[in-house]
Amino acid sequence: MIIEIALLCGLVLFSAAAIIFRDLLKAAICLAVASLLLGIVYFRMKAPYIGVFEISVVAGMITVLFIVTIALTKTGGDVREARAAAWIFPIMLVLFLVVDVFVVKSLIDKIPALEAAPEQGTLGEVLWKLRTLDLVGQIGIIFAAVLGVLALFRKRSKDE
């Protein structure tokens, strides 16, 4: 349990650092490290498949997308953030940490849990047989995202 606590504290610290850093490249790398720590937490929770997804897709691919975007928008990167946002954040975070456990504890019993059948089969069986509709939705979303990105980056014709 101590390892989990250390990993999750690191996750929160790196996530906070991703917000605090002015430099976007440092923020993106902090985000990647946070994803890596979350992936290790998933492995320790005996959920290896989502751990692999988290490390490969979120820590790998999203970081690459961020770095490409930061490289393409380099000159406009200096946006003046609100001065209050930087120093209010630690205070708000500490305040939230104080009330966090009590709020979650009072809320968690009020969530009605669905009756779940005892678990059987592998991830592949569950994903392909039980949650087939999710896969259809995933295909639709990937298709929509590809079409959207293509539409945003299409070459403009001359009369536009």
Task: Compute the least distance from the CB of residue 155 to other proteins, in Å.
Answer: 13
Task: Compute the least distance from the CB of residue 159 to other proteins, in Å.
Answer: 19
Pinpoint the alpha helices (H) of the chain.
2-20, 24-44, 48-53, 63-72, 83-108, 123-125, 132-152
Give the CA distances from residue 64 to residues 51, 61, 91, 128, in Å, rounded to whole numbers and listed in that order.
Answer: 19, 5, 32, 30
Given 3, 6, 8, 98, the residue binding other proteins (CB under 8 A): 8
155 in contact with other proteins (CB under 8 A): no
149 in contact with other proteins (CB under 8 A): yes
Give the per-residue contact string, 16-55, with other proteins (x = CB under 8 A; - = no). Answer: x-xx----x--xx--x--xx--x--xx--xxx-xx--xx-
Is there a contact between 89 and 22 (Cβ–Cβ < 8 Å)?
Answer: no
Distance of alpha carbon 130 from alpha carbon 115, whole angstroms: 15
Given 3, 6, 73, 98, the residue binding other proteins (CB under 8 A): 73
Tell the residue number behind the tokens 């985000």, with chain if given: 31
130 in contact with other proteins (CB under 8 A): yes
Tell me, by CB under 8 A, how many residues bind other proteins.
78
Give the per-residue contact string, 77-116, with other proteins (x = CB under 8 A; - = no). Answer: x-xxxx--x--xx--xx--xx--xx-xxx--xx---x--x
Tokens matching residue 35? 């994803």
Amino acid at 102: F
